[in-house]
Structure 1
Amino acid sequence: MSTTAVTPLTTADAEILIAAARRAAQATGVPVSITVLDAGGHLLAFRRDEKAVLISGETSTRKAYTALQLNAPTADLVDLVRPDGPFHSLPTALDRPLLFIAGGIPVHRDGHLIGAIGVGGGAPEQDHSFATTALKDLS
């Protein structure tokens, strides 16, 4: 049985993600906040555009945390927490900063979860698009 080490998400990786998400958001004129967490849920990088609404800093962080903890894009989780969904009580059952709004995406390397990115400030679909675009710049 061989064990292959997976390179963790680095601060350099986080800066690549922040820059790529900012470019995508700026191209549409949407001011955003962007959070990048490592696999342990620790902050690696954060950026809030000057004109982004203040709450976007909190929402970007919660989206990243939610994507990391559930290893799924937050866009894919929205229906699960609706009143008739299987996880409807999850947002209030845990004392954790979960947020089930599109804009959080887990980051994988070699099939392993190494962190997450969260974007807040635009419409949920825009935030999801900016985060997805950012992942394309990370190789």
Structure 2
Amino acid sequence: MSTTTVAPLTIEDAEILLDTARAAARAAGVTVAVSVLDAGGHLLAFRRDDRAVLIAGETSTRKAYTALQLGTSTADLVDAVQPGSLFHTLPTALDRPLLFIAGGIPVHRGGRLVGVGGVGGGAPEQNHGFAAAAVTALDRGTAA
């Protein structure tokens, strides 16, 4: 049996995710909140722009948690929880803060889930784009 060690998400990684997502949002003229969780679901980093709506903080964290628990982008889950869909009852079946709105994206290393980023404050498609830009920057080892 072979085991491969995968580096965990660090605070430096979290800062790249925060900075890049916020820079992408700023370039679009959107104020946001960004949450970064490690693979255990613990908050590593959080920022809310001064003028971001207060609920953006909560939604960014819930989106991140949802992406972590299900191992996929929240944008890919939106249709699955619609009435008549496979996971329609999932948001209310669990006593956890799941949120099926685009903006939560997992971070993988070596094929393993090491953390997630969540963005709230803009339109769902915008939030997804900001989070995706952050994960891409992290994968490339660059900040905004």
**What range describes the TM-score normalised by the shorter chain of this pair?**
over 0.9
Structure 1 equivalent of residue 7 of structure 2: 7
In structure 2, distance between residues paired with 1:2 and 1:28:
45
Shift of 1:79: 0.5
SS state of the match for residue 137, structure 1?
Answer: helix
4+ residue runs over 2 A deviation: none
Aligned pairs for 1:60-139 (under 5 A) are: 60-139=60-139
Amino acid at match of 1:25: A
In structure 2, distance between residues paired with 1:42 and 1:57:
15
Aligned-residue sequence identity (percent) comes to 72
In structure 2, distance between residues paired with 1:128 and 1:28:
13
What are structure 2's unaligned runs of at least 5 residues? 140-144
In structure 2, distance between residues paired with 1:45 and 1:136:
18
The two structures, once aligned, show a CA RMSD in angstroms of: 0.5
What are structure 1's unaligned runs of at least 5 residues? none
Shift of 1:137: 1.1
Structure 1 equivalent of residue 142 of structure 2: none
CA deviation string 1:47-98 (max 9, x = no partner): 0000000000000000000000000100000000001110000000000000
User: Is the aligned partner of 1:48 residue 2:48?
Assistant: yes
Amino acid at match of 1:112: R
Aligned length: 139
In structure 1, distance between residues paired with 2:138 and 2:81:
30
CA deviation string 1:4-45 (max 9, x = no partner): 111000111000100000110000110000000000000000
Q: TM-score, normalised by structure 2?
A: 0.95
